[in-house]
Amino acid sequence: MGKIDIGRVRSLSIKCLSEVAWHDTARMRQDVREAGGLQADQFEVKWTPGNAAGVSALIETIDGGGRSRKILMDAGWDVEYMDGVFRREKVDRMLSAGEIGFVYITHEHVDHFWGLPAVLKYRPDIKILIPTGFSQKSRQTLQSSGHQGKVVELGPEAPHVLFPGCASATFDIPILLKTHGEQSLYFHVEGRGMITVTGCCHAGVLGLLEYAEQEFEGFTEFHGVYGGLHISPFEEWGPAQDELLDKLKSYRIQRLACNHCTGVLTVQKMLEKGMHVVRGSGKNGSVSEFYVGNGDTIVF
């Protein structure tokens, strides 16, 4: 099969609603250890009450005709925390008014998916896009969340053009905590190039970029990356991470708006290597002003 031209959008804006998955990392790691480690089932971990937060972003595109489209990427974890986030950023009103086209769940991890009732409170019939590979327990979670709308499963066989200028790719891989499959978004912005938008990027950021090179026609450079890149989520560093950053640097990405599981140390190393990191404001309980955090917006 030949390469796909996914079309263009005129502009893309991404607001990080929250990139803080949990409040206390040591606590979270202990919860996982006590359940048997990273191969444990996320449904069987006894998560410490009050430690959960969540990951979510509001994406808005404008097409050539001036039409706006909004996507809610991921639903976070703690329902009360996410409700507060949605109200702070007026996402509650956008959902109620039907301004958000669909919810795009990148993967079934707790910190991206379990906050769904906070979304459905304002729009129970919203369309939800999930990657194939969801566990039976996650499907039950979806059913018992009060969702009344359509669920669309996107498979790994080929990229899916969601609308002109926006495509989704499913990576059919096993992930930590007995989960499976992750999907990421690609936007082609007129006059800028390709921008990838990802939840945790468990498949690896280089794979995400290579995928676009193989599958998509008509772009000459990667302009930006937004989201969690899972390079050093627990702030550990070694030669493998260094090598990965050097390879990433060779793509000459003009704006790296990475956060969440990318790791603060990773971003510091990116800055040392002269990579183009987009800094944040550090507000609303963000982990660091080193990167785009809670309530920060980046416009491509």
Query: Which single residue brings its beta carbon nearest to Fe ion?
Result: 200
Q: By C-beta, is 9 or 14 nearer to Fe ion?
A: 14
Q: By C-beta, is 83 or 111 nearer to Fe ion?
A: 111
Please tell me what DSSP assigns to residue 86: H
> Measured from the CB of residue 59, what is the shortest distance to Fe ion in angstroms?
17
In sequence order, which residues have a C-beta less than 8 Å from that of residue 129 and are 6 or more positions away?
A: 102, 103, 104, 105, 151, 152, 153, 154, 162, 168, 183
> Measured from the CB of residue 131, what is the shortest distance to Fe ion in angstroms?
12
Q: d(Cα 261, Cα 85) in Å, to the nearest integer?
A: 19
Residue 111 · residue 182 · CB < 8 Å: no
> Phi and psi of 264, rounded to 5°?
-65, -40
> Measured from the CB of residue 73, what is the shortest distance to Fe ion in angstroms?
12
Q: By C-beta, is 9 or 55 nearer to Fe ion?
A: 55
Q: By C-beta, is 69 or 109 nearer to Fe ion?
A: 109
Q: Which of 163, 161, 170 is nearest to 133 (CA)?
A: 170
> Measured from the CB of residue 136, what is the shortest distance to Fe ion in angstroms?
19
Tell me which residues touch Fe ion (CB under 5 A): 109, 111, 200
Q: Taking the CA atoms of 60, 63, 68 and 70 in sequence, report the sign of the dihedral they define.
A: negative
What's the full length of the chain, in residues?
Answer: 300
> Measured from the CB of residue 231, what is the shortest distance to Fe ion in angstroms?
13
Q: By C-beta, is 102 or 171 nearer to Fe ion?
A: 171
